[in-house]
Amino acid sequence: MLRNCHFHKYVALGNDYLVLDPAADWRALTSERIRALCDRNRGVGADGVVVGPLVDAAGQLSIRIFNPDGSEAEKSGNGIRIFARYAFEAGYVSREPFTLATRGGLVTVRILDDQAALIEVDMGKPSFRSGDLPMSGPDREVVDEPLTIGGEELRITCVSMGNPHCVVITADVSADRARRLGPLLERAPYFPQRTNVQFAQALDEHTLSIQIWERGAGYTLASGSSSCAAASVARRLGLVGDRVEVRAPGGSLQVAFRPADGHVLLTGPVTGVMHGFLHADLRI
């Protein structure tokens, strides 16, 4: 049983995470315990859990990211920024850029103001190759492919940001559609490790509107990696340029493509919510 364990809660445009620091008595964090912590009726409530900082022998900071269903995520743009805010406030990092290891690869983080309220993450270079997602079928770039699901004929483009995404460019961007088709796409047999899903519309060459169904979390108000994925797809299809405002129900994130290497830079706010200890009555 976990007792007297300290937690911190932050939100990034309506997408909230708990940060659990291994130095604060966290141990034996099972899938069942993660689900209990994220339960909004009986637990603390969150869209996910970030565990860190973890430090290897060479001094490299790393984190582990968990979805509210207890599964582990490779990468999360909002989760990374939320952890960076915590790491700054806890004194683990300063305003100097730092690298952070995730299951989806190494990222570089820049804190842009003295309160760590605005944070930029280099999310790496997007890949459209099916083997990087992974996605079934021949090795190929999955760009503007037809797919019929839930009685609808869709055109999908799939991209890895270190985690898998299936993007539907469409004029029908609605929460109802994301809630209806999102879970079908997430668990479609083409995606052996499931996938995140975005419905996106280019409003102009600098602006995208998106709705998000997140793997392991469901309908989500905002997502950093989803914003990067949707912008990468829209750019690949010639709909937007190198700087894009991605508008989700929770608010806007800024996505920029670095000309030198094609890396995606994600910038957005983080807000503190609370910190505290688990009560002994929460028997997890």
Residues 223 and 151 placed together within one structural domain of the fold: yes
- 167, 178 in Cβ contact below 8 A? no
CA–CA dist 80, 101 (Å, integer): 10
Are 246 and 138 within one domain? yes
pLDDT band per the 50, 70, 90 thresholds, residue 5? confident
Say if residue 144 is in the same domain as residue 249.
yes
**Whether residue 185 sits in one domain with residue 156:** yes
d(CA 31, CA 64): 13
**Do 74 and 15 belong together in one domain?**
yes
Residues 135 and 252 in one domain: yes
Higher pLDDT, 195 or 3: 195
The answer to whether 233 and 217 have CB atoms below 8 angstroms apart is no
What average pLDDT does the segment 121-136 reach?
Answer: 97
Residues 190/196, Cβ–Cβ less than 8 Å: no
Tell me the pLDDT band of 281, cut-offs 50, 70 and 90: confident
pLDDT in tens, 234-275: 999 999 999 999 999 999 999 999 999 999 999 999 999 999
Residue 7 and residue 242 in contact, taking contact as beta carbons nearer than 8 Å: no
- Tokens 């670095």 belong to which residue? 258
Domain presence at residue 1: no
Q: How confident is the model at residue 27 (pLDDT cuts 50, 70, 90)?
A: low
Q: How far apart are CA 66 and CA 45, in angstroms?
A: 13
Nearest to 127 by CA among 144, 140, 145, 108: 140
Q: What's the domain range around 137?
A: 130-256
Q: How many angstroms separate the CA atoms of 62 and 51, rounded?
A: 9
Residues with Cβ < 8 Å from 281, sequence gap 6 or more?
Answer: none
State pLDDT tens for residues 212-238: 999 999 999 999 999 999 999 999 999
Q: Is residue 244 within 8 Å of 205, Cβ to Cβ?
A: no
| CB of 146 closer than 8 Å to CB of 155 | yes
Q: Is 140 helix (H, G, I), strand (E, B) or coil?
A: coil
Tell me which amino acid residue 213 is. W
224 domain-assigned: yes
Distance CA 57, CA 126 (A): 29
> Radius of gyration over alpha carbons of the chain, in Å?
18
In terms of domains, do 134 and 251 share one?
A: yes
- Are 41 and 146 contained in the same domain? no
Distance separating alpha carbons of residues 31 and 129, to the nearest angstrom: 30
Phi, psi of 223 (to 5 degrees): -160, 130
Is residue 51 included in any domain, yes or no?
yes
Give the pLDDT band of residue 2 (cuts 50, 70, 90). low
pLDDT of residue 29: 83
160-213 confidence digits (pLDDT tens): 999 999 999 999 999 999 999 999 999 999 999 999 999 999 999 999 999 999
In terms of domains, do 156 and 64 share one?
no
Strands 243-248, 207-214: parallel, antiparallel or unpaired by DSSP? parallel
Banded model confidence at residue 1, pLDDT cuts 50, 70, 90: low
Asked whether residue 97 falls in the same domain as residue 156, the answer is: no
Q: Are residues 176 and 84 in the same domain?
A: no
How many domains does the chain divide into? 2
Assess if residue 113 is contained within a domain: yes
Residue 63 lies in a domain: yes
Residue 265 lies in a domain: no
Residue 12 covered by a domain: yes
Q: Are residues 211 and 163 in the same domain?
A: yes
* Confidence check: pLDDT of 48 > 70: yes
Question: Does residue 264 sit within a domain?
Answer: no
What CATH number is attached to the domain comprising 114?
A: 3.10.310.10
155 phi/psi in degrees, rounded to 5:
-115, 120
